[in-house]
Homo-oligomer: A and B are copies of this chain.
């Protein structure tokens, strides 16, 4: 059942190198290299001989050696903020084809929102001499990021720009997103709403709340009618917990709608609402943020503020690649606009009964 297979090659045999191929083909090492890198400069006859030797020996280029020689790796890296949130995987999915088109591999790492993990990943990536780093940072102004730039490694911020603005970034205006979400709720006639989200250390959360408050004030609503339900993380579980607290409010203070700082919170809140028999959107309207696929897939499809996830990744990749290749590169901030995607969780025009 668990018999060791008799391999055609001893497991300990070392990989054949260009030298071995050269010997087998009866040519010099340089010729083998030419076959690999400038095949047109080699005569058809010898080329075939070399290629035959390569396949017979099972030759595979050693990437470490190539990198050492080249002075840099052929890879990009993306350090995401929360591996449990599909949003970031979608961003990564946008980066990958761009990296591949440039002949580069993509290393995907997850800081999990912890500065120490972020720093550790960054360390490793510098050791690998990656050509560029895409990062959704725990703290966009952390000193260890400046260190990366000082080394001359292209570093692009994804979803957040740093204060100094001295590097490329790809952002979606979170204040504007907060405004859009809140205005949607105002339009739907809600007069008492909740903002669900936290912790406050996350800039995106602060901005979205700020946007919501702006709109709220502009419509002349009372600040106290926009209740902030803080959470400890942007997770489904915290969304559920927020639901409990929301349900516990005295009815005169209870909001008729909730704007969640991301879709995970919104899904948790939705679940809690349904479980206690609330009708969504009639008893409680819910709007999320990010528009991950699971938002559209929810039992009550979730209204959400869409960020162009793949596009973020693609654009960020374009920027690092430019910074890596073009000596005249100038940093730029590519800003995208969030857009509202209205679904059933806030009521459709059709079904809305005032």
Contact = CB atoms under 8 A, between A and B. Distances in A.
Interface of A: 1-5, 7-15, 58, 60-65, 67-68, 71, 73, 83-84, 86, 89, 93, 96, 105, 107-108, 110, 123-124, 126-129, 149-152, 165-167, 236, 267-268, 270-271, 274-275, 293-294, 297-301, 327, 329-333, 344
A105 B123 CA distance: 12
A231 to B, nearest CB: 15
B71 A14 contact: yes
A293 B14 CA distance: 44
Given A62-B127, A68-B68, A271-B299, A236 B293 contact: yes
Contacts of A71: 14
Please tell me how many copies of the chain the complex holds.
2
21 contacts: A2-B332, A4-B331, A8-B150, A10-B152, A60-B123, A61-B127, A62-B68, A63-B127, A63-B129, A64-B65, A64-B68, A84-B293, A86-B86, A108-B108, A236-B294, A236-B297, A267-B294, A271-B298, A274-B299, A275-B301, A275-B344
Contacts of A331: 2-5
A37 to B, nearest CB: 15
A15 B329 CA distance: 20
Contacts of A294: 236, 267, 294
